[in-house]
Amino acid sequence: MSGNVRLLDETLAAAKSEGRAALIAYLPAGFPTVDGGIEAVKAALDGGADVVEVGLPHSDPVLDGPVIQTADDIALRGGVRIADVMRTVREAHAATGKPVLVMTYWNPIDRYGVERFTAELAEAGGAGCILPDLPVQESALWREHAEKHGLATVFVVAPSSRDERLAEITAAGSGFVYAASLMGVTGTRESVGAQAEDLVRRTRATTPLPVCVGIGVSTPAQAAEVARFADGVIVGSAFVKRMLDAPDDAAGVEAVRALAGDLAGGVRRRD
C-alpha cells in the first residue's frame, strides 16, 4: 500500500493557492493516553490544522524542550509503543482525510527495522516522516524505502546551516523542508526573530519544496508573522502545554481544538 505523500503535496499546494501558509500541528502519540492522544490529534485537524505531525515519544528527545519532554515522559510511562503511533496515524487520517506524518528520532526506526516501519506507516495512511537527527549522508536506506512506500522524507535545517549544506539537505528531502527558526530546543518564545526569515530565504534558493518554520511559534500573532514569509507554520509546544494545563483530558482536547482555530486564523491574517 502506498502512503500519502501526494496528499501532503496537494495540501501544501492548496494552502499556497489560497494565498496563505499551511498550519502544521505537532502532538506526541500516547499523551496523555493512547486514546486521549488520538482525540487530541483529531481535534487539532478538526480545529483548523492542515497537517499534523505525530511524535514518537523518545527518552532523550534532543530537539525538544521541557514541555514536550514532559509529555513524552508521560507517554513512555504509560507504555506507548510504535504500534500505538501507527494506530494514532491511522485513526487521525481516517477520521479527517488530512495528511499525518510521524516525527521521530532515528534510533527507534533503526531498531524496529526500516522496511517494517515504512510499510506499516504507509499502510496506516501516513504521509511521511520528519527525521531531525538522521544525517542526509546516512539516509539512503531510509529514503529508498520511503520512496517505495509513497512517504515523504522531511529533513530539518537550522540557521547555522551553510548554503552548500542547505542544498545538500534539500536535494535529498521531499514533502517540505522543516526550518528551525532558531538554534535551540522546541518551546514557546516571545518572538520568532529575523533568523527564521533569512533561513527561509536561503533555503528557498536551493529547492522548490515548501519551507515550513517551527520552534518558538505559539500564538496567532506569531503564526501570522511567520506566515508572511514561510509556506507553513509548525506549532507543537503550545498545543502540548494546553493539554498539560487542562484540568482533565476532555478539556485538554477542547483546548487543542480552540488553539488550532486561533492559529488557523493567524495564518490567514492579511494585516
Return the active site residues. 53, 64
Kindly write down the DSSP assignment for every residue of 85-110, as one continuous string: HHHHHHHHHHHH---EEEE--HHHHH
The answer to whether 231 and 11 are in contact (CB under 8 A) is no
Give Cβ neighbours of residue 114 (< 8 Å, ≥ 6 apart): 141, 142, 145
Q: Read off the C-alpha cell for 242.
A: 494546553
The answer to whether 55 and 68 are in contact (CB under 8 A) is yes
Give buried/exposed letters for 166-200 (b at 16+ CB in 10 A, else e): bbebbeebbbbbbbbbbeebbbbbeebeebbbebb
A 10 A CB-CB count for 97 gives 12
171: enclosing H helix or E strand: helix 163-172
Residue of 167, 108, 173 lying closest to 146 (CA atoms): 173
What pairing do the DSSP bridges indicate for beta strands 152-154 and 156-157? unpaired
CA dihedral sign of residues 146, 152, 157, 163: positive
